[in-house]
Amino acid sequence: MEDLSLHILDIVENSIRAGAEHVSVKLNEKDGVLFLSIEDDGKGMDKRILQRVTSPFYSSKEGKKFGLGLSLLKHAVLETKGSFEINSSVGKGTRIRASFIRNHPDMKPLGDISLTMKMLRLSHPGIEFIYEFTGNSA
């Protein structure tokens, strides 16, 4: 994926497929680090799925053998020497936290995150989206 906004779009679409009614996307830039948090109240994942979900050779989507969304996001994070964490509980939802080192040469551009969130709101009017950004740019 070319920019961070496309990663966010893909992950949020996963939240929607998981039955989320509330999705929060938060970005915070501080001291050269961009922190991303995506949290939903979807169906969540059990420990077995959680262990496999960042593998590109795993997908929970029916009829698909590959699941690239989370694995590509994790790869983008690790390319910048950042960190990646995913927590999930069945029936309670999922939270993804990532940090990116902004001045790293492999840091992807942010893209148009505001437009991405606007498209999500227009495409899924029954879902509550929260988008917050604090820091220098977005």
State residue 33 phi and psi, 5-degree precision.
-120, 135
The domain covering 4-134 belongs, at the CATH homologous superfamily level, to Histidine kinase-like ATPase, C-terminal domain (3.30.565.10)
3 state SS of 78: helix
Q: What is the distance between the alpha carbons of residues 15 and 93, in angstroms, rounded to a whole number?
A: 8
Query: Which pLDDT value is given to residue 63?
Result: 46
Q: What is the distance between the alpha carbons of residues 19 and 45, in angstroms, rounded to a whole number?
A: 12
Q: What is the distance between the alpha carbons of residues 85 and 37, in angstroms, rounded to a whole number?
A: 10
Single pTM value for the model: 0.87
Q: Which of 136, 69, 77 is nearest to 108 (CA)?
A: 77
Averaged pLDDT, groups of 10, the chain, 138 residues long: 90 93 97 97 89 64 53 91 94 96 96 95 96 81
Per-domain boundaries in the chain: 4-134
Q: Which of 129, 137, 75, 74 is nearest to 103 (CA)?
A: 137
